[in-house]
Amino acid sequence: MEAVECIKTRKSIRKFRHDPVPKNILTEIINTAQWSPSYKNSQPWEVVIVSGKKKEELSGLLIKLLEEGKAPEPDIPEAISWPPETEERINETMKKRGALLGIDLNSPEIKKKSKAANFRFYGAPHGIFLFHDSSLNEWSIFDAGLFAQSLMLAAHAHGIGTVPQGFLIDYSSEIKQFLGIPDSKRLVLGISIGYPDMENPINTYRTTRAETEKILRWFE
């Protein structure tokens, strides 16, 4: 797939087919993402892929914590406020997605169901967790973002869907304990990955983008 087409046609997938992605393809996707740029070529990212029984056990643990009402404690705090223009784009997306599904995505009950869907990896056969050492600063979080983007584009080029999920780091400590990851590591992001179920209505929604003129300034 040509690079520009790959960037413009990638989308977040929220319903997956159950058939697993072969290990060699997942490995190739990670290998491709390793060519992402990083500060001083530090390559700070570390990757864990969960599948099968292990993924189901982790999913059960996360849903249990949610049902018990445990407060989220992500290694990277959730944003609590946004600039007006940014908040407007978020609200527009939530409104349109909610209209497509016939639900109010801002209601507490729906928010809880949405988290549970995240914790079930949207039915994907695999979940990916990105870590790096917690002693690293914001540049390494930026680098992890570059790696995640490369990973998702590489997957899309293979016809494989992904969705980056902030909710998947809600219970960072418990996830690290479950996976045997040292507390000295920071859980940066979760990503569900698998073959997309394009017959599901939720995958028909396509987010919009701000007009380039609104985010671009020229100085000559």
Distance CA 36, CA 69 (A): 38
In the sheet that 46-51 helps form, which strands lie side by side, from edge to edge?
A: 46-51, 126-133, 185-194, 161-165
Q: Residues 77-93: pLDDT tens digits? A: 998 899 998 999 988 88
Q: Tell me what pLDDT residue 1 has.
A: 84
Q: How would you class 124 by CB atoms within 10 Å of its CB: exposed for 0-12, middle for 13-18, buried for 19 or more?
A: buried
pLDDT (average), residues 94-111: 83
147-180 confidence digits (pLDDT tens)? 999 999 999 999 999 999 999 999 999 999 999 9
In a domain, 135, yes or no: yes
Token couple for 86: 């940014």
In this structure, is residue 89 part of a structural domain?
no
Domain count, the chain: 1
Beta carbons of 47 and 27 less than 8 angstroms apart: no
Asked if the structure places residue 88 within a domain, the reply is no
In a domain, 210, yes or no: no
Q: Is residue 84 in a domain?
A: no
Residue with tokens 């939530």: 94
Phi and psi dihedrals of 131, rounded to 5? -125, 160
Structure-block tokens of residue 187: 């859980």
List, for residues 47-75, the tens digit of each pLDDT value. 999 999 999 999 999 999 999 999 999 99
Q: Is 101 part of any domain?
A: no
Quick check: is 61 in a domain? yes
Q: Distance (Å, rounded) from C-alpha 104 to C-alpha 90? A: 14
Domain extent for 7: 3-79+116-205
For 130, other C-beta atoms within 10 Å of its C-beta total: 24
- Within a domain: residue 168? yes
Task: Provide the CA 79 distance to its chain's centre, in angstroms.
Answer: 15
Q: What CATH number is attached to the domain comprising 144?
A: 3.40.109.10
Residues 137, 135: Cα–Cα separation, whole Å: 7
